[in-house]
Structure 1
Amino acid sequence: MEEGTVATPEELLLKQHRKEKKDLQAKIQSMKNAVPKNDKKRRKQLTDEIAKLEADISNRHEEEFRQLKSTTDTKVEELINGAETMKVEGGEQEDIQQLRVTKAQKRRDKKAAQEKERESRIAEAEMLNLQGERHQEGLRLAQKLAQQQLQIKEISSDGHCMYRAIEDQLAQRSKPELTMSVKELRSRTADHMRSHADDFLPFLTNPTTGDMYTPDEFEKYCSDVEHTAAWGGQLELRALTQVLHLPIEVIQADSPAIRIGEEYASEPITLVYMHHAYGLGEHYNSVEQLKDPAAAGDS
């Protein structure tokens, strides 16, 4: 920031929030260091406590940004009204009192204004992020997963996210016989749906007419599943449980977990379904074991 300039309220609040987040991380590290690594029960309690602390500070920061914005809007309006009054009362005195501004001063003023604008954009972006549905959904999911000693493992958003998440889950099992690529998962899904058409065809309807798919439309649907980046949903998940002979559990932020393939007693494949991830909305992620608290604090 240019020497001599005054920080805006948004900049000051952002600076305060950064310090509070840094202090919280120091506190969390101290809490982690106080719990023995072999005390699994206390570590689980600690994970829940940390998730609550992080959620609390995010919600408080969001509210403080909201209140500041409301206050700032009111002050700006008052300043505008005051300036109009001074202009009327001052008349020609305004011209007499103006100082000549050198080119160097203009450059300094311009640079200071640009710096202020940049800081304001950072503050606004952080406020929008805290208020954003994606951020809030992520916090709720993190709290749910922490109760199972799990955390989100990000999967790329390219139309194959459901299959990539399942591919990742199978790879985590360290059983070569279960390992499948996205291409193979899509192919096996499509083949299973074709060979069990009576189980899937009744749930597919033409979006224009509302009629159940014809055999040709169903084959086109299966072909898209196999050969394109067509997004996967509950029908494909049902087919995959039968292909893999494994149950699939889908965790959501605001709804109970969905379990498909309950006829299989094995440990389920666990996916996270997000309603507000990325620009297109819905998205699947994988999960992984929650990092060791001590290790996570050092990273």
Structure 2
Amino acid sequence: MADIEDSIAATRTETLEDVQARHRKEVKELTAKTTTLKKSVGKGAGDKKKKKEITEQIALMEAELSKRHEQELAAAEQQTTESLAQEEGPEQPEAEDASAALEDLSISSSPAPQQGGKKKPNRQKLRKERKAQQFEEMRRQAEEEAANTENTKEIEDAAIAKLIEPLALSIKQIPPDGHCLYNAVAHQLSLHDQSDSKSYKELRHIAAEYMRKNPDDFMPFLVNNQGDCYNDAEYKQYCNTVEETALWGGQLEIQALSKALGRPIHIVQMGSPVLKVGEDLAGQPLTVS
């Protein structure tokens, strides 16, 4: 539910090694951040609710980072393959190759004996042949890896289908655009109560307005490019972006929607139990994946 499109586009300016290095740094930063959040909660009875909310936020943050890293790596690997393919395009002859061509023309008009009767090797041709061999070997290896790699989308869909089977639920596909979280919640609301139907625009406004009124619940989880927590102006701009643009909804927006609507939101995901946000709320749960 993160802003995957923007992050994938950014990888086009990075090498695969750059992406991997950045991922290691981001994992380290997230670990430090979650550790700080865990330590910020006391051990008193009144802190149990806050601890539970922070645990939910951390789980969502980790799942979102993992999903984004997976897609960025796939994009970077594809970009590397495309770059190698482009190198196979036509090359301009080097000065040495051009001289060799002129030499061949002069020979045709006035043959001169060649040592051992052998022609001088064409370096450009040899270089292109080597590149072609290297590229073909890389393509073959990529095909073998792809053949031996399981389809993660199919595996994830099958796992989610298995999880929701005992819940008597079925999957409703939502277009994967920046509004998908809000459209999924809107669909759930209409299923439970058609009189409570809302558009994605209305839900964006509801989430943004709740975040504006409760900054202390969200600001600690937002950092700028320098790694510092948002200030008031940055936080205000973030809320405006949530309401007015197609920014993908993430863990903060799920929390805001749950609180504002007074309903728990259950998140079904592969490899872990159903994540329940707003479990203390009395409304009927909305289930998304």
| TM-score between both structures, scaled by the size of structure 2 | 0.48
Higher normalized strand content (fraction of residues): 1
